[in-house]
Structure 1
């Protein structure tokens, strides 16, 4: 039976909801970039989200990855709206979760514009959880074509990898601006290094439990590289954190590569089917 013949009105509803969610995300992103009259993210919350606000803030160039993520989200949205994807069993399982991640992404930008740093942390943690749940669904329902892998898995993987790093940066910004005492600065390097170690552990766990998927690791490593650049060439300067971040970026990418080369990737993928 063809996917077109098997499609139902609920499939069309799902496709429309995905389109609406991504449109909402893009409009919110335009506000976040200041295009539609909003304040640029780096100037919000008293500058707490800028590239120089904390020891774990990536240099500003790191945020260019959002253009890549948004591009893949738009391409995915167009692709999943095709009649050939309407009755796809895989899209039936992940369409709504991906729509939720788009809504939470846009909600974070609006929260940063109009609410508090604390609420941005809550929102980005929810986004991280949603992305983790979505990629688990993708692992449990492996792609059958290169298009499924490229348009769906790469999209979610890049989003997850970057948000993993962004969650840490966002939480650190909130703690630094509103929670930590003034003495925090005296131990900032130690805390920063400890948090980077946690990021590595999370990224390694993601690689392990997704069968060695590389895209989340690439996105997380990208952020870590730019944390290193920010701390080595900008304020607040910290070579210990810069070096730790660069080493961490290498480890994060090596873990999934090792899983692939040792054959563990196949075992893990098979185990989750």
Structure 2
């Protein structure tokens, strides 16, 4: 693929993923946050947690503009990740449309899984690919964008697969709801923790995952429930351990 075509595709798909959530405001479909915040399973974050997409879309638009500059056409970094980013943005657009019009289903779950694989791959490549002339853009735009994307999708993948299992009456496997939520989050952690270690404690990846976790806990566990105290303590300890790991890696 030519550099020019890659640049154009990134611009088009970055704009499309930013505009897709506006369709409910025009009377088409329902917002993802509103759909998931009403009568949704306990493992789905509260509606406000989906506001993270606003930051992701903004960073995506900034990235699209930066990579489209003539001076960036032959950048080793953009050449390494550019094809993956426009594919990710395009799939994100598809995910938004399916979620707004159809709700959780196996198609949505499949799209999310593909997005996760692509985002993790791009993030690893971007993390390892350095272009000294654009190091500031890499640190302030590329890594935050891909880190937030991958961190949120790590959690979203587990949640969407769980949604499919619930649709087919295969979950919660005879467990109490709070136990099943813990199981789903544990599945997400099996991906998140190794990735965090591989990325040497990238704060953006951890921040997105923790943000989603907080949204789930605050929604799922009433303060009066005994399980809530266990969940809050576990979340606090996990967050503290992650921060210690991050601090250790940053000093290394």
TM range, smaller chain: 0.7 to 0.9
Q: What CA deviation, in whole Å up to 9, does each residue of 1:162-216 have, x standing for no partner?
A: 11112222222222233326x7575322222122222233221111111221101
Asked whether 1:20 is paired with 2:6, we answer no
Change (3 A) 1:116 1:263: closer
Please, what is the CA RMSD of the aligned residues?
A: 2.8
Partner of 1:77: 64
Partner of 1:153: 143
**What does residue range 174-213 of structure 1 map to in structure 2 within 5 Å?**
174-180=164-170, 184=173, 186-213=175-202
Query: Aligned partners of 1:192, 1:89: CA distance in 2, in Å?
Result: 42
The alignment covers a number of residue pairs equal to 249
Partner of 1:171: 161
Change (3 A) 1:220 1:80: same
Query: Aligned partners of 1:214, 1:143: CA distance in 2, in Å?
Result: 20
**What does residue range 5-44 of structure 1 map to in structure 2 within 5 Å?**
10-31=2-23, 34-42=24-32
**What does residue range 89-238 of structure 1 map to in structure 2 within 5 Å?**
89-112=76-99, 113-114=101-102, 117-142=105-130, 144=132, 145-180=135-170, 184=173, 186-233=175-222
Query: Aligned partners of 1:98, 1:222: CA distance in 2, in Å?
Result: 23
Unaligned runs of 5+ in 2: none
Deviation at 1:239, TM superposition (A): 5.4
Change (3 A) 1:186 1:247: closer
Change (3 A) 1:252 1:200: farther
Q: Is the 8 A contact 2:43 2:159 kept in 1?
A: yes
Change (3 A) 1:169 1:242: farther
Change (3 A) 1:36 1:254: farther
Query: Aligned partners of 1:252, 1:209: CA distance in 2, in Å?
Result: 18
Asked whether 1:240 is paired with 2:227, we answer yes
Q: Is the 8 A contact 2:201 2:246 kept in 1?
A: yes
Q: What CA deviation, in whole Å up to 9, does each residue of 1:105-142 have, x standing for no partner?
A: 11112223258611100010111111011111112213
Unaligned runs of 5+ in 1: 1-8, 267-273
Change (3 A) 1:265 1:191: farther
Change (3 A) 1:55 1:260: closer
Q: Is the 8 A contact 1:18 1:77 kept in 2?
A: yes
